[in-house]
Chains A and B, each alone.
Chain A
Amino acid sequence: MKILLKLIILILPASFIWMFFLLLTEDDSIIGADYRNFALPEFNLEQLDESIFIDSSDLGDDYIINVWASWCITCRVEHPYLMSLNNKGVPIIGLNYKDEKNDALEWLSKFGNPYERIIHDYKGTLALDLGVTGAPETFLVQNGKIIAHYQGEINESIWNEVFSPIIEEKELF
């Protein structure tokens, strides 16, 4: 009995310390990426550049949703990469988040438009339903389901780490 207690007294703290050692030295998985899986929420919002309403059926089967705004500085940084993605044939749907229509359109005409279509989410309702906490954020949608989500600016390395593996595995685009 006493031996058992002695063992517990020695081993318990030791294992705790060992656990913390492991935690401190392990490599982090990519911060900002999550693979939570859920159906694309229903919505019916205005398109940015035309006075028509669109919903999920207008978007196609597989595509990227990119959350952006004219007030978002980081969005400008990721913009060139989005243009290059678009050139490679990746369908990108824009979600204009809590932005004034005129500001958004001006921004696009100044920097270029990588989006097939753009949803104007003025109040941020669709964004909230998607779990967006700010801009820029990017979602990968397959058959009406969200399968990947990245918070932050995407570039070549993020794309290759977070999205490419899934795209290749599921043979999208």
Chain B
Amino acid sequence: MRYINIFLIFFSLLVSSGTVYEFSNDEDEKRFNKLLNDIRCPKCTSGSLSSSNAPISEDLKQKIAEMINSNKTDNEIKEYVTKRFGKDSLYEPEFSRETYILWFSPFLVLILGLFFFLLRRKI
């Protein structure tokens, strides 16, 4: 029930004000824009929410704006999206056992490379 009320309030707000997604402060708006860049459009082959104006993207943007305004954290919003649209909706891969290799190996390669360079100095 609460969902509907909140949604109706925001919908009527957006009809009357000049801003489509209203936020109470600049920080929230920045958060919103950042999230839109980091979340995949559910229906497009490739592309973030910010680059898509498919109806489902618009719906999702609206929902995310609502969630920000109800003080949900970024993590809660991301969880909402991944539960429904899959882990691959986030452009930031998770940081878990399965992805340690992804996040750490570049630095490992760099350190190993520099180490061998110092060792040999005759490349």
Contact = CB atoms under 8 A, between A and B. Distances in A.
Q: In the complex, are there CB atoms of A and B closer than 8 Å?
A: yes
Interface of A: 1, 34, 36, 38, 42-44, 98, 123-125, 128-134
Given A36-B84, A42-B3, A44-B1, A128 B60 contact: yes
A34 B87 CA distance: 11
Interface in B42-86: 42-43, 55-56, 59-60, 63, 83-86
Nearest to B56: A133
A125 B86 contact: no
Contacts of A130: 84
A131 B84 CA distance: 4
Nearest to A37: B83
B66 to A, nearest CB: 10
B85 A125 contact: no
10 contacts: A38-B84, A42-B3, A44-B1, A44-B4, A124-B59, A125-B3, A125-B4, A128-B56, A131-B42, A133-B42
Interface of B: 1, 3-4, 7, 42-43, 55-56, 59-60, 63, 83-86, 120
A36 B59 contact: no
A131 B7 CA distance: 17
Nearest to B62: A128
A13 B28 CA distance: 46
Contacts of A134: 43, 56
Contacts of A128: 56, 59-60, 63, 84
Closest 5 CB pairs of A and B: A131-B84, A133-B43, A133-B42, A133-B56, A38-B83
A131 B59 CA distance: 11
B7 to A, nearest CB: 6
